[in-house]
Amino acid sequence: MTRSPSDSHYSYTIYADPETAKEFDESRFGGPIGHLVATAQERVLADFAGDLQGVSVLDVGTGTGRAALALAKRGARVVGVDSSQEMLRVARVNAELAALEVEFIPGDANALQFPDASFDLVVSLRVLMHTPNWRRCLGEMCRVSRDRLIFDYPPLVSGPALQVVVRRLVQLTGRQTETYYVISTPAARAVLTNRGFKISQLHRQYVLPIALHKLIGSRRFTERSERVLASLGLLRLLGSPVTILAERCGDVGGR
């Protein structure tokens, strides 16, 4: 995750831990459901990004570099930024193993160290929900993007919203937990509009919380239950995470 050096928010301290960085990919994307989630995420990213040959991309909150490497495989020139040196260390190893060239550098999502319109495309997955100031983070992403943004978040009306309530109650007991944010799409749209962007595509992934699917641990259950819930129209109403493709309105120089 990305940070300001003086911030002690959980998303900075947790991901600075070497063991957390080492085990991150397995804990998030291991097992049948983790693999399903990773595959779906990469498919949506590919669909939204389109032809990437020679396209410059910034991956904000790159973590272990999963999205950055997926983009590089498709011909993009990728820079990944993250506040955690430990996560970046794992990302560099992953890039070396995949024989892909990606530049991984430390960076703060709330104050990106790049000039305006530095990248054709800016990507940020599973970041806004954890950053202490998601509006500022999204604004920075807009600033450094020349043309497009791809980002995701758990929406205000969704299963994860209930998880947030539970996690905040757990936090009151003194236990450390990831008390992430849920974000309303109108609020995200307002930030984009203010920065000269508009939402061009929106994708919702699951009705039931991913944590529940992982607890059950059955790919068949996940695929069948989500298919049934989608047929009832619940995916359109409650699906999470929401992945957004936003495009700049008009020329960069007209901002």
Q: What is the pLDDT of residues 107-148, one digit of tens each?
A: 988 899 999 999 999 999 999 988 888 999 999 999 999 999
The tokens for 247 are: 């495009």
Burial 147-184 (b: 16+ CB within 10 A, else e): bbbbbbbbbbebbbbebbeebeeeeeeeeeeebbbbbe
pLDDT for 1 equals 44
pLDDT for 250 equals 74
Type and span of the H or E element at 157: none
pLDDT for 176 equals 61
With a cut of 70, which residues of the chain have pLDDT below it?
Answer: 1-14, 161-180, 251-255
Alpha-carbon gap, residue 214 to 203, rounded angstroms: 21
pLDDT for 5 equals 42
The tokens for 180 are: 């992430």
pLDDT for 10 equals 57
Type and span of the H or E element at 202: strand 197-206
Q: Which residue segments constitute the domains of the chain, with CATH numbers given? A: 10-249 (3.40.50.150)
pLDDT for 60 equals 97
pLDDT for 9 equals 59
